[in-house]
Amino acid sequence: MGLWTEHVVPRIVDVALGTEEVRAVRERVVSRARGEVVELGFGSGPTLPLYPAAVTSVRAVEPSAVARRRGARRIAEASVPVEHVGLDGAHLDLPDDCADTVVSTFTLCTIPDVELALREVRRILRPGGQLLFAEHGLSPDPRTARWQHRLDGLQQRVVGGCHLTRPIDGLIRDAGLRILDLEHEQVRGPAVATYLYLGAATP
């Protein structure tokens, strides 16, 4: 990981995704979490204070050492045990059927092998478990989508591998998960990075 990606990007992410509007979106999605949670791309843990009382533990997957350090205080203050269990959502050292909930907020855009990561989600979710997601991705508006394709390579280089053009619902379905509900929202910010996919899916 280069200096920019390791040291600067986690700080940019915390600011860009630290708005009240995004916090409300996260809270809406993770309010349905319960039981044993695995969180992909934990970052500095902005989701942690928003988990409901039904959550009993959180296993965090996060490759960035800087993000993990920045999350230490939130982990220390959390009311549930939180453990870092891996660096890559595409290769989880976790047994089959070990999670009631998998949470991914603004992470499926960034995991390099997102198809494999979603197959891992399906593998670790217990029957009846849920993937809860709040992600940005490909816009249905043709003009915005054209700009997303134009800027995708630049975005990946500047924002730590973040893709603008991933069709999040299609990727989830292709991994063999069934979407239970899906909402879209356009939040404030550049249109290319603010078309959201919010919802839940199950194995």
Query: Which positions lie near ligand SAM, rule CB under 6 A?
Result: 13, 17, 40-41, 43, 46, 61-64, 67, 88-90, 105-107, 110-112
Residue that has been written with the tokens 């394709």 in this structure:
149
Cα distance between residue 198 and residue 179, in whole Å:
11
Residue closer to ligand SAM by CB (options 10, 203) is 10
Residue closer to ligand SAM by CB (options 143, 188) is 188
Tokens of 14: 């915390």
Residue closer to ligand SAM by CB (options 24, 146) is 24
Minimum Å distance from CB 30 to ligand SAM?
10
Cα distance between residue 174 and residue 24, in whole Å:
28
- Taking residue 104's Cβ as centre, other Cβ atoms within 10 Å add up to 29
Minimum Å distance from CB 172 to ligand SAM?
16
Asked whether 87 and 61 are in contact (CB, 8 A), the reply is yes
Cα distance between residue 25 and residue 116, in whole Å:
26
Minimum Å distance from CB 142 to ligand SAM?
25
Cα distance between residue 154 and residue 203, in whole Å:
34
Residue closer to ligand SAM by CB (options 146, 154) is 154
Minimum Å distance from CB 186 to ligand SAM?
18
